[in-house]
Structure 1
Amino acid sequence: MPRPVGRRAEILETFARHVAERGYDQTNLGDIADELGMSKGTIVHHFGTKAQMLREVEENYMRRQLHAVHGMWERLEKPQERVAAIIYASVLLHVVDRHATVATQREVVQLSDDPAMQEVRKLRGEMQRLTEAELQQGVDAGLFRKIDVRVTTLQLFGSVQWMWVWFDPKGPQTPEEVGASMVDVFLGGLLLDRYGLQQVADPKGAVVTVVRECLTAVGESPE
């Protein structure tokens, strides 16, 4: 699922960067038009409103995420590998798709009651259900301790979706190392037998390789 190309895509990507850097309320279509050397009317012609632009950024972002996750599921079979993949992907997206990632996480409640956001909510729900299913499979297989899979899923996404306020991709730890630390803590609290934890919490391991390759396949190439 490669990214769209052309002027429209350029406008949307610039909008996502402005939202990531300034927040939705402080993002001004006039500033975007000036930066791109076009009229504000051209942006309105393509998108209609600023709200519609945010909806499109969020919808495109979630579709790319889900496409990548389905690719990971085809290559990873164990629940612990798949849960680890979700965590690694969440960290790497702050590098390979940073503006859209920060914009959607920063404004996660923006327009949440807008009926036009129904598709975005549906896509987010699908991601949540995929994660809940893997946690439940791990419980049923005797790999994970008994938990409330819904609450645990919300804890997971609550953690990774708050990363934009503290995670620096240029910090002393690589994104893979940060992801590995989060995998170690999260899965360490779930696994009944931690024998295989080191393997999935390896920042240079097979799970990370799969995640990077699947992100690349949807047009988010790790640098």
Structure 2
Amino acid sequence: MTSAVLSGRNEVHHHRWGDARIPLMPKPSNPNPRRHRPSPNPSPSNPSAAAALDVPEPSQSGHVTIRPSELSRREAQALRTRLTGELGRVRALLSHIDSWEEQRRPADPQQRHHVSPPPALQAAMRKRCTQILTRLRKQKISVWFNSPVDVERLKLHDYHAIIRNPMDLGTVKENLAFGRYPSHEDFATDVRLTFNNALRYNPADHHVHRYAGNLLATFEGLYKEAVSWFEQECQHLARQ
């Protein structure tokens, strides 16, 4: 599974709540299912099920033609599962790329010497982050991510070997409420970590993997709007 290293909180381009340029629980009893690890070369007991996962060879142009009307019910279900899993991986990779590009982008010289935004604007941005988190947590599928993974009860013996930095939306909510995030970059990093952990641990064809990809995409859209608003407000203050 494709993965990328998340940005740490000590990156050179890390910005505080007051900076102008910003890149940046319902409690379930089963936040993440056990990851099933197939053998490297499995021998399917059901040959027809294995055949259902076959996809036609691409043409010379690199395109694959699939005719739904020619697929059996089992083949259609298998193809849907495969494509949905790949979509989740693509969304996660795009999130990593966006974060990496933002971290690598040089600071605008006009913004390096700006006057720090007033406390009221900083508080407004924190409020927007809280609203984003609330919207995520209210979604039905977020029940898998609203509290820490109960590793002991679920007997996920390999969880901490795979996930070195566990995170969940309930912990993010607590950190945000108690002012533990120096900037909204830190807030965004932990939200992304929550979903990227689920994408990393759960197989691509598992529903938790798909839910994580969907919620991550939702978060990125909401967060981008909030950051755009904050940057515009900071630029307005800088011109005064």
- The answer to whether the superposition gives a TM-score over 0.5 is no
Report the structure, 1 or 2, having the larger helix content.
1
Point out the structure with max Rg over C-alpha.
2
TM-score normalised over the length of structure 2: 0.27
Relative contact order, higher structure (CA 8 A, sep 6+): 2
TM-score normalised over the length of structure 1: 0.28
